[in-house]
Amino acid sequence: MRSPWRYPARIVPLAFLGAILLGTGLMMLPAARAEPGHAPLVTALFTAASAVCVTGLSVVDTPTYWSTFGHVLLTVLSQIGGFGIMTLATLLSLLVSRRLGLRGRLLAQAESAGLTGGNLGGVLLRVAGVMVVSEAAIAAVLTVRFWLAYDYSLGRALWEAIFHAVQAFNNAGFALYPDSLVRFVADPWICLPLTFGVLAGSIGFPVVFELVREWRKPDAWSTHTRLTVWGTVLLSGFGFLTFLVFEWGNPGTLGPLGTPAKMLAAFTQDVMTRSGGFNTVDLGHTYSETTAVTTALMFIGGGSASTAGGIKITTFLLLAYVIWAELRGEPDVVIHRRRIAEETQRQALTVALMGVALVASGTLALDALTDGVPFDRALFEVTSAFATVGLSTGITASLPPSAQVLLVVLMYVGRVGTITVGTAIALNTRRRHYRYPEERPLVG
C-alpha cells in the first residue's frame, strides 16, 4: 500500500473533508437541536462546514436553533478547524522544505530562522500554547464584563465568554446572539478584546513567533513578516477610513451613534471584514460603496498560515510589487533588498487568478440558483464563503438548498484551496535542463 505521505497535498483536503462529515453527523443528533427532532442534512452539513472551515455563515438562528450541546459542538469544531489549519500548513511547509535542494533549504532556514527549527512537535506546542493563552485572556475580560455590566450569572458569563473567545481567535464568527454583536456596538470592553483576538489569529503563527522574538528589530524581520504586518496596517487603515466616511451618516449603521462609538464600530467592523465574521452593524443596511470595499477586503483576507481566509495579504502585495516593477521596467521584483523568485511570483498569480475564477463562477451559479437576489449581494455572499469570512447581508437563510450546498463547496475550497494549491505548485516545481527559443506575443 502506498503511503499517503507520498501525496502530501492531499492531506489537507482529506482531513478537512473528514472533519466536516464527522461534524455533520454530530450536528444531526437530536441532542444538538433545541427543539425535538434532528436537524435536516443540508442544515447540519452547512453548519459543520462553516465551523470546520472557520467561516461563521449560518442558515439558521444559531442561539435558538441549536441546544447547549450544539453550541459546544460548534466550539469544538471551530477549534479543530482553526488548529488544523495551523498544524497542517506547518506540516506541509516542512514537507515542501525537504523537497528543496541544499541551496533552497539554506535560504528557507535563513528566511524563517527560529519559526520551526525543523521540529514539528515544538511548533505544534507553540501553536497550541498561543491559542490557549490568547483565548483565555479574551475570555477573562469578557467574563468580567458580562458578569458585572450585563448582570449575567457567573456561569453564563463564563460560557459565553469562552464561546466567543474561541470564535474570535479562530476567525470563525459564530455568535450566541441573533444580531451577532450589534447590541455591543458601543461597548469597547466587548468589541476590542474580540477584535484583537481576530487580529492575532489572522496574521499567522509564523509572524506571531517572529514578532515576539524580534519586535524590537523591524530591520531583522523576514520578508513574509514585513509584508504581513505592514499589509495588515495598510488594509486596516484603508478599511477603517472608507467605512467611517461612507457610513458616517447612514441611519441604518453608524448614523445614530456618537462619535466615539462610530470610531469604535468602524475599527471593529474593519477588522472583522477581512476575516473575523462578527458584525457590530447591520450589513444589510450598508451603502453599495461600503459593500464593494468590504467585498474586496474579504477577498484579500489575512495572513498566510493563519485562521484567516482569502488569497492572503502576501499574495496581494507580491502582485502589487510585480506590477510596480513591470511599470518601472525593473528586471527583478525586489522587496527590502530581497529579490523575489520567479516561482513565487507565479504562485501568487496562480492563487489570485484561481480565486477570481472561483468567485466569478460561484456568483454566476448563485445568481442562476436564486431569484431576486441583487448581483452585489450575491457577490458579497460568495466572496464571504470563499474567503471564509462569514459576513452576510442577511440572505443566507433564505437561499434554496442548492444554493446553500454551493456555499458549502465554496467554503471548503476556499479553506483548503490556497494551502493545497500552493503546496502542490511548490512540490511539482521542476527544472528543465534545456530551454525553448523565446517568443514575445503582443500584450495589451
pTM: 0.87
- Is residue 397 assigned to a domain? yes
In total, how many domains does the chain have? 1
- Is residue 12 assigned to a domain? yes
> Residue 112 has which C-alpha cell?
524563517
Q: pLDDT tens-digit profile of 101-157?
A: 434 443 344 334 444 444 556 677 888 888 899 999 999 999 999 999 999 999 999
- Is residue 203 assigned to a domain? yes
Q: Rounded to an integer, what is the distance from CA 265 to the centroid of its chain? A: 20
Which amino acid, residue 10?
R
- Is residue 438 assigned to a domain? no
The predicted model gives 416-435 an average pLDDT of 63
The predicted model gives 38-64 an average pLDDT of 94
Q: pLDDT tens-digit profile of 295-325?
A: 999 999 988 778 888 899 999 999 999 999 9
Task: List all residues 6 or more positions away from 202 whose beta carbon is below 8 Å from its beta carbon.
Answer: 171, 232, 274, 275, 276, 301, 302, 303, 306, 307, 308
- Is residue 274 assigned to a domain? yes
Q: Is the pLDDT of residue 99 over 80?
A: no
Q: Which residues pair with 339 in a beta bridge?
A: 334
- Is residue 100 assigned to a domain? yes
- Is residue 369 assigned to a domain? yes
- Is residue 433 assigned to a domain? no
Lowest mean pLDDT among 98-102, 275-279, 420-424, 429-433: 98-102
Residue 145: domain span: 4-428
Q: Are 50 and 170 in contact (CB under 8 A)?
A: no
